[in-house]
Structure 1
Amino acid sequence: MHRARRRFGQNFLHDPAIIEQMLTAIAPRTAEHFLEIGPGSGALTRPLLARGAQVMAIEVDRDLAARLDQWDAARSGALQVIEADALSQPVAPLIEASGQALRVVGNLPYNLSTPLLFHLTAPATGIHDLHLLLQREVVDRMAAGPGSRIYGRLSVMIQARCQIEPLFEVPPGAFSPPPQVTSRFVRLIPHAEPPLGDTDTHCLSRVVAAAFAQRRKTLRNALRGLVDDAGIAAAGIDPGTRAERIDLAGYGRLARILQHSSEQA
């Protein structure tokens, strides 16, 4: 029996009913290629393999990685175990190696969920969908719309990349050890046509990060040094507006203003 390690944020899923509910939502098919983040003891890995999927599993815990590497599926090639920190493992080479669009699954550690979300949704192509188990509050923030008190940087940046479908809640008792929060299973589907077109991702990230750095500031003050009042107005936005009132399209326009001014500098 593997003992959960706090430094890795380990909470192992063990509830058979929840696992089956997740599999129903994922609906894996024979020969599909999956990238699993944090397989742990293999609660989801095993049924994916049983349904004929090919799984690349990234596991940071060397003891768990070694155990998974002893499975028959690893010897046959259906399971590839990668002992690594998922944040430091580039996704693009894994997509290329699979030869088809990857389906991503994972029970993400709560302490790394936001950077992992940005990392996993960064590829512009090659990800078919993502089914992730996250802290409920993180999913709520991702799906929040303008005007909500929880609408923020995570909302804008993930919505620019993916369609978000919150699925169902998972209680603490479904894990060992049980976390002190409720989780939520969510489906992310990368946009076939990005809603912001060819807007520069770096410019969008800079604008959004600055806008939400101090939520009580108006855009006039929050974007000082990036986009001036005239630029904000040119984007069709009142400079006296606060960040949480601006929708995704508005941030796209601000990013294009910044991109244009950078090119002119």
Structure 2
Amino acid sequence: MPRRTQRRRALSQNFLHDQSVIAEVIGTLHPPPGTLVVDLGAGAGALTRRLARTNRVLAVELDPRWADHLRTHARAWGDVTVQRADALTVGFPRERFHLVSNAPYHVGTQLVRRVLTDAHGLERGVFVLQLETARRLAGDGRFAATWAPWFELRVHGRIPPRAFRPAPSVDSAVLTVVPRPVPLLSPAAFADYDAFLARVFNGRGNTLAQRVGDARALKRAAIPRDATPGSVPPEAFARLYGA
């Protein structure tokens, strides 16, 4: 096995190389020309290079070898700033920005959570993740319910292993994160809402009515009495909390 491939596997690096898939990822992000785009885990720059044709790009990469590679080549791509930093701790720009990430899969959930928590200038985010991880984050569990009052999380398509080098053992997908123009709840309600979700998801009984203990609240939230936590969309929990 080539040394570069060994290094990528050791660091859980699976870089996109299929140009049609790269175009689809950027098309899902669709940043307006001139927009600042943060590329978290830029790697060899497959996404950075395409984005730099029409946008300003901040390429964040932890691996010193790939950071040096980006600094060497990015000058010819366009308006690219390279920052060697950890995607889980790097500071976000003060101005409004779009974000794209094909970071190592083992930090995928942490990275999405970190962006949802700290990236206050985010206009749209696109993450390449393992398919099952993307479905879990945007699905019917507590993670999606936690963030649904403030963000829309959606899964787009399926990316085959052959689109990466080295090829992972599972399919991948794109997860989009978009702040809601009008939040369903005030940010100040986060702690109380999160405690409410803990009671709902950890409560006894199969149905929401049994776990909440208030059939009238379910009616006001337009949720069927026999609904289970996994049978309602994430946004429904914000309605139920308000009721």
Specify which of 42, 60, 63 is matched with residue 61 of structure 1: 63
Distance 1:120 1:34 in 2: 14
Distance 2:202 2:81 in 1: 40
Q: What residue number does 2:237 align with?
A: 251
Question: How far apart are residue 25 of structure 1 and its match?
Answer: 2.8
Equivalent pairs, count: 235
Specify which of 196, 214, 217 is matched with residue 236 of structure 1: 217
Which runs of at least 4 in structure 1 moved beyond 6 Å after TM superposition? Answer: 214-222, 238-241
Q: Which letter does structure 1 place at the counterpart of 2:29?
A: I
Distance 1:203 1:66, change over 3 A: farther
Question: Does the aligned pair in 1 maintain the 2:209–2:218 contact within 8 Å?
Answer: no
Secondary structure of 1:17's counterpart equals helix
> Can you list the C-alpha shifts for 1:205-248, whole angstroms capped at 9, x where unaligned?
333345435897777998xxxxxx7xx53982599986435654
Spell out the pairing of 1:117-156 with structure 2 (5 A cutoff).
117-123=112-118, 125-144=120-139, 151-156=140-145
Distance 2:233 2:27 in 1: 33
Per the normalisation by structure 1, the TM-score is 0.73
Question: Does the aligned pair in 1 maintain the 2:29–2:98 contact within 8 Å?
Answer: no
- 5+ long unaligned stretches in structure 1: 145-150, 223-228, 258-265
Question: How far apart are residue 111 of structure 1 and its match?
Answer: 1.4
Distance 1:25 1:119, change over 3 A: same
Distance 1:171 1:201, change over 3 A: same
Distance 1:74 1:160, change over 3 A: farther
Distance 1:23 1:219, change over 3 A: closer
> Can you list the C-alpha shifts for 1:28-78, whole angstroms capped at 9, x where unaligned?
4432100111111111111111x23111122121111122122353998x2
Q: Which letter does structure 2 place at the counterpart of 1:142?
A: L
Higher relative contact order, chain-length normalized (CA < 8 Å, sep 6+): 2
Secondary structure of 1:204's counterpart equals helix
Spell out the pairing of 1:218-237 with structure 2 (5 A cutoff).
233=214, 236-237=217-218
Question: How far apart are residue 23 of structure 1 and its match?
Answer: 2.7
Q: What residue number does 1:263 align with?
A: none
Q: What residue number does 1:115 align with?
A: 110
Secondary structure of 1:141's counterpart equals helix
Q: What residue number does 1:185 align with?
A: 174
| Alignment RMSD | 3.4
Same amino acid, percent of matched pairs: 28
Secondary structure of 1:160's counterpart equals coil
2:34 aligned with 1:31: yes
Q: Which letter does structure 2 place at the counterpart of 1:236?
A: A
Secondary structure of 2:46's counterpart equals coil
Question: Does the aligned pair in 2 maintain the 1:121–1:161 contact within 8 Å?
Answer: no
- 5+ long unaligned stretches in structure 2: 220-224
Q: Which letter does structure 2 place at the counterpart of 1:154?
A: F
> Can you list the C-alpha shifts for 1:154-188, whole angstroms capped at 9, x where unaligned?
22123233223432211001111111111112322
Question: How far apart are residue 121 of structure 1 and its match?
Answer: 1.7
Distance 2:209 2:154 in 1: 33
Spell out the pairing of 1:37-76 with structure 2 (5 A cutoff).
37-49=40-52, 51-73=53-75
Per the normalisation by structure 2, the TM-score is 0.79
Distance 1:215 1:48 in 2: 49
Question: How far apart are residue 119 of structure 1 and its match?
Answer: 0.9
Distance 1:252 1:12, change over 3 A: same
Q: Which letter does structure 1 place at the counterpart of 2:86?
A: D
Distance 1:159 1:7, change over 3 A: farther
